[in-house]
């Protein structure tokens, strides 16, 4: 059995955290490939090493700030090296970084050094081989994304000969060697790519929480944990994953059906959350999770006989496309079509979208409603349970929440509800209570 284990920044923020990670890795001989992030925050007032590196890059022509950020950065790594009593000197590495930055290396290069240096420490600490992802994770200039086929091939070839290795997260390189990072939080993607390349049995993602909660703990006090969730359910709960797992890290492992296990470095005995392709395990409740987001606008377009006008929907959407705006949901009625968009993307372009809709579709009316929230209620158990939607709506009615929009996907594993932004928290509490607190 082979496990790929990724440790997030908070799991490697100090020597003490490194020791916990080391104990976890050594406790299971299947944990052969380790993907570290850069050191994260040690407390809420601390700065992540990645942010320090972006600052270092911005300060390249300001001698004093540069020297001071550099000093703080070195101190972060020295503290870890010393705390682990390692015989490792990163001076040469720092000299190279300074030299490269002074001769114009970009911010991707700067940021990637957080993972690079932490990987060097981790490899030394574990006695594992160090693999620089710049030599195997290949980025494509056109798409600015990694080239999946080349990358999987390179990694598979390299790791076939290496029993145990550390592969830093977050970056790779274009074919000319120029470093390129993923978006923030991208070490999750590296872990997934490594797991996919070697057909790992499990991708363990170690972080500072014990997995996904059924609802946001800022809204529900001590919410129940999700034990098992399918990739598909997680995708439907896209608003929820944020902060725990990078959205793009699902794709590589999903293709191969490799499960992801979210685990807590500070509580390794907890089973965490399993993200799987398919499962016979019923979730404990009818719903698997509830997630939502505020800040949506609904653009309502009405036109008599819209249902028989060919191309009407396409033309409405064209108005959004021309203004470079994506839509989130698209409920429609016989003579009306509503487009839900992110308020912050829409605000400045509002009038230009409205006039494009007018020109393109000649509607009877267009109204815009703002400050709305969308809530996704998701569960594979919903398919086989009658009355789920009914229960949601009666709970909302009891809580005096007005439902503005309902959209049930044809997969029957999700129901999307639109409510006023001011009702967002009340609505989530009402739905949580009816399914989880009353254990139905
Ligand atoms: N260190 C990077 C960041 O802070 C990547 C990661 O931690 O996954 O975004």
DSSP 11: G
For ligand 1, say whether the CB of 184 is within 6 Å of any of its atoms: yes
pLDDT at 194 > cutoff 80:
yes
Q: With contact defined as beta carbons under 8 Å apart, do 262 and 272 qualify?
A: yes
**pLDDT tens digits, residue range 404-437?**
998 887 778 899 999 999 999 999 999 999 999 8
pLDDT band at 238 (very low <50, low <70, confident <90, very high): confident
Main-chain phi, psi angles of 366, to 5 degrees: -130, 125
pLDDT at 439: 57
| Contact status, residue 81 vs residue 93, Cβ threshold 8 Å | no
Q: What is the DSSP letter of 283?
A: P
- Asked if residue 186 has its Cβ within 6 Å of ligand 1, the reply is yes
The tokens describing 231, both together, are: 């990739």
Q: Which domains does the chain have, with CATH numbers?
A: 11-25+33-198 (3.40.1160.10), 289-437 (3.30.2130.10)
**pLDDT at 281 (0 to 100):** 81
**CA pair distance 100, 83, nearest whole angstrom:** 29
- Whole-number Cα distances in Å, 152 to 72, 97, 147, 164, 418: 36, 28, 9, 17, 41
Expressed in angstroms and rounded, the spacing between residue 6 Cα and the centre of ligand 1 is 12
Q: Which helix (H) or strand (E) holds 120?
A: helix 107-126
Ligand 1 proximity of 50 Cβ (cutoff 6 Å): yes
CB distance 9 to ligand 1 below 6 Å: yes
Q: Is the CB of 114 under 6 A from ligand 1?
A: yes
pLDDT at residue 243, rounded to an integer = 65
Which residues on neighbouring strands pair with residue 292, listed in sequence order? Answer: 375
Tokens found for residue 260: 């992801």
State how far the Cα of 150 lies from the Cα of 165, in Å rounded to an integer: 20
Judged against a pLDDT cut of 80, whether residue 30 lies above it is answered with yes
Of 278, 187, 201, the closest CA to residue 233 belongs to: 278
Flag the least confident range among 144-148, 361-365, 411-415. Answer: 411-415
* Substitution candidate for ligand 1 out of 186, 190, 243 with most atoms within 8 A of CB: 186
CA of 183, closest atom in ligand 1: 9
Give the pLDDT mean for 48-68: 97
Residue 11 CA, distance from chain mean position: 17
Spell out the alpha helix ranges (H) of 127-213.
148-160, 187-197
Distance between Cα 130 and ligand 1 center (Å) = 19
Dist. CA 146–CA 181, nearest whole Å? 10
CB of 12 closer than 6 angstroms to any ligand 1 atom: no
Q: Are 432 and 220 spatial neighbours (Cβ–Cβ below 8 Å)?
A: yes
> Rounded to the nearest 5 degrees, what angle is found at the Cα of 288, between the Cα atoms of 284 and 294?
145
Tens digits of per-residue pLDDT, 69-123? 999 999 999 999 999 999 999 999 999 999 999 999 999 999 999 999 999 999 9
Q: What is the residue with the minimal CA distance to atom 6 of ligand 1?
A: 185
**Residue whose structure tokens are 């993923």:** 182
- β-sheet bridge partners, residue 410: none
Residue 236 has pLDDT above 90, yes or no: no
pLDDT above 90 for 58 = yes
The values of phi and psi at residue 365, to 5°, are -145, 155
Residues 254-262 have a mean pLDDT of 95
Supply the DSSP string of 314-334, one letter for each residue.
HHHHHHHHHTT---SB--B-S
CA atoms of 315 and 173, how far apart (whole Å): 41
Nearest to 287 by CA among 403, 413, 374: 413
The phi-psi region of residue 305 (left if phi > 0; otherwise alpha if psi is between -120 and 50; otherwise beta) is: left
Does ligand 1 have an atom closer than 6 angstroms to the CB of 118? Answer: no
**pTM of the prediction?**
0.89
Tens-digit pLDDT profile for residues 280-311: 887 788 999 999 999 999 999 999 998 889 99
- What is the pairing mode between strands 260-264 and 273-276? antiparallel
Q: By C-alpha distance, which of 269, 273, 225, 277 is closest to 250?
A: 277
Please give the distance, rounded to the nearest whole angstrom, from the Cα atom of residue 7 to the centre of ligand 1: 11
pLDDT at 241 over 70: no
HSE-up (13 A, CA, CB side) for residue 277: 12
Quote the pLDDT of residue 383.
Answer: 84
Separation in Å, CA 237 to CA 184, 345, 388: 20, 21, 17
Q: Is 317 exposed, middle or buried (0-12, 13-18, 19+ CB in 10 A)?
A: middle
């Amino acid at each position: 059995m082979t496990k790929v284990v990724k440790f997030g920044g908070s799991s490697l923020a100090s020597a003490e955290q490194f020791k916990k990670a080391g104990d976890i890795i050594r406790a299971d001989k299947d944990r052969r490939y380790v993907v570290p992030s850069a050191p994260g925050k040690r407390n809420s007032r601390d700065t992540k090493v990645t942010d320090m590196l972006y600052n270092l890059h911005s300060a390249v022509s300001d001698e004093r700030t540069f020297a001071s950020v550099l000093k703080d950065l070195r101190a972060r790594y020295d503290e870890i090296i010393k705390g682990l009593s390692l015989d490792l000197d990163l001076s040469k590495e720092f000299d190279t970084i300074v030299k490269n930055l002074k001769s114009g290396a970009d911010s991707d290069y700067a940021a990637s050094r957080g993972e690079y240096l932490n990987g060097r420490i981790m490899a030394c600490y574990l006695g594992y081989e160090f693999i620089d992802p710049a030599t195997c994770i290949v980025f494509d200039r056109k798409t600015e994304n990694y080239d999946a086929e080349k990358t999987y091939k390179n990694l598979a070839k390299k790791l076939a000969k290496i029993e145990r290795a550390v592969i830093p997260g977050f970056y790779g390189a274009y074919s000319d060697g120029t470093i390129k990072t993923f978006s923030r939080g991208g070490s999750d993607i590296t872990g997934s790519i490594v797991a996919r390349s070697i057909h790992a049995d499990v991708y363990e993602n170690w972080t500072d929480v014990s997995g996904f909660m059924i609802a946001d703990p800022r809204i529900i006090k001590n919410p129940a944990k999700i034990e098992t969730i399918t990739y598909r359910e997680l995708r439907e709960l896209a608003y929820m994953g944020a902060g725990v797992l990078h959205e793009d890290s699902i794709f590589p492992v999903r293709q191969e059906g490799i499960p992801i296990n979210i685990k807590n470095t500070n509580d390794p005995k907890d089973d965490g959350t399993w993200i799987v392709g398919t499962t016979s395990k019923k979730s404990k409740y009818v719903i698997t999770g509830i997630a939502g987001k505020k800040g949506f606008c609904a653009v309502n377009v009405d036109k008599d006989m819209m249902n028989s006008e060919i191309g009407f929907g396409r033309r409405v959407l064209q108005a959004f496309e021309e203004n470079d705006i994506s839509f989130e949901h698209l409920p429609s009625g016989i003579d009306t079509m509503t487009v839900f968009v992110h308020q912050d993307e829409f605000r400045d372009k509002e009038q230009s979208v409205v006039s494009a809709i007018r020109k393109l579709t000649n509607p009877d009316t267009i109204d815009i409603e703002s400050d709305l929230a969308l809530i996704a209620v998701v569960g594979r158990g919903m398919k086989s349970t009658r009355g789920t939607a009914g229960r949601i709506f009666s709970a909302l009615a009891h809580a005096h929440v007005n439902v503005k929009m309902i959209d049930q996907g044809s997969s029957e594993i999700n129901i999307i509800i639109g409510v006023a932004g001011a009702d967002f928290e009340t609505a989530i509490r009402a739905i949580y209570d009816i399914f989880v607190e009353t254990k139905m």
